[in-house]
Amino acid sequence: MATSAEDDAPSSPPLPPSNASPPPSDLTSESKTDMDIKVHHAGKIHTFPLPPIATINDLSTLISSTLQIPPSNQKLLVSPKPGLLKPPFTTGPHASTPLSSLLSASPKTKITLLGSTASQLATLNASIESTKKATSPYSGPLKTAKPTRRAPSIQSLQDSTTYTFLSIAPLPYLPNPSRSTQFLERLRDDPGIKETMARHKWSVGLLTEMNPAEHTSHESRTLGLNRNAGEVIELRLRTDAYDGYRDYRTIRHTLCHELTHNVHSEHDRQFWDLCKQVEREVEKGDWKHGGRRLTEQAFYEGPQLRAGEGEVQDHGAWQGRSYKIGESGSAAGGSGPVGGSAVQLDQALDRREVQAKAAEERAKRLGAQEKRKDREEGSAS
């Protein structure tokens, strides 16, 4: 069969369709030469291949998929510049800057990743919570609530102004009388002393100090005196060398002893029973543990005497004919006014009577010791 010339001609290649893909772009050609971005993290170096046009956000996304560290937990330290970069990495002055520009800024550029995986953070938070529970004071079972201190009633306020030391006075001729006043005020306002005096309804006209030199002998040192069943109480505040003040709790213990003489004059069984009761009440009522401190100035306590080294509380309560307050004179053997309100002793309570009373007590003790010694020798023979 005859063919036409057109059939014999070679066929032309087909035309490409109108929706054919364009030739590769520049991004595709650049992606063939990816950069190896080295990131330091937890003592290791991780390498991430990225094209030169990639940004910090691209690096963050690749880190999240590779190391399982969410972008919100990532911080990238690019040194020496631009420094620490924080999320979100899609915003900020370096969000659109290519990594190639950042790395080419300095040959010593280093990228350090700061961050932890979600599981690591969960473990850390659980550890922190368990530590808080273990150290929390509320972690254990609930304790019985303690009753709060009630506000003072009108009656208690009246008692605090009635059953107390109506006046205090140091010895003005001794060094630093102002410090003695502070010490006496501290005793007066001691919570335990105040509560005990109100309970027993004790009121003392004057609380003052005694001169150690006038109440010290070779055999004993008197620590306190109670005149006329609570009209005046004298306490040995100072050390024998006048270089400081004695221990506060020791002086308060002596004050308990002297307050007991408001009821019992002699040192009999009734006296000692009440004295021990007063001491317990003062300790219990001292809710600040050690007395109330009215000043930030520290008291120098000075060298202390040990128990049994010749200390005696007193020689019993004394009865005198008169105790005049408000006149010129002396207190406890002193001279001049006392704290602006002078106190003087009658002749029945002068220094000679003090010494005679002390000598009488010492003679009684020596006689009792000799009788006891004779009995022991008789029983031994």
Cis before 71? omega within 30: no
Active-site residue, selected from the candidate residues 209, 231, 234, 258:
258
Question: What's the CA gap between 111 and 56, in Å, rounded?
Answer: 11
The runs of H, that is alpha helices, within 232-340 are 248-260, 269-285
Which position has the token pair 């040959």?
107
Two structure tokens written together for 369 = 């010791």
Query: Would you state the structure tokens that stand for residue 154, as one six-digit string?
Result: 């009108």
Q: Which long-range contacts (CB under 8 A, 24 or more apart) does 24-33 make?
A: 27/51, 27/53
* Cα distances (angstroms) measured from residue 286 to each of 42, 234, 289, 349: 59, 22, 5, 35
Structure tokens at 36: 């190896």
**Residue 293 CA from chain centroid, whole number:** 15
Q: Is 222 helix (H, G, I), strand (E, B) or coil?
A: strand
Q: Scanning the structure block, which residue is given the tokens 């990495």?
A: 89
By CB atoms closer than 10 A (0-12, 13-18, 19+), residue 292 is middle
Q: How far apart, in whole angstroms, are the C-alpha atoms of residue 264 and residue 274?
A: 9
Active site residue 209: no
Active site residues: 258
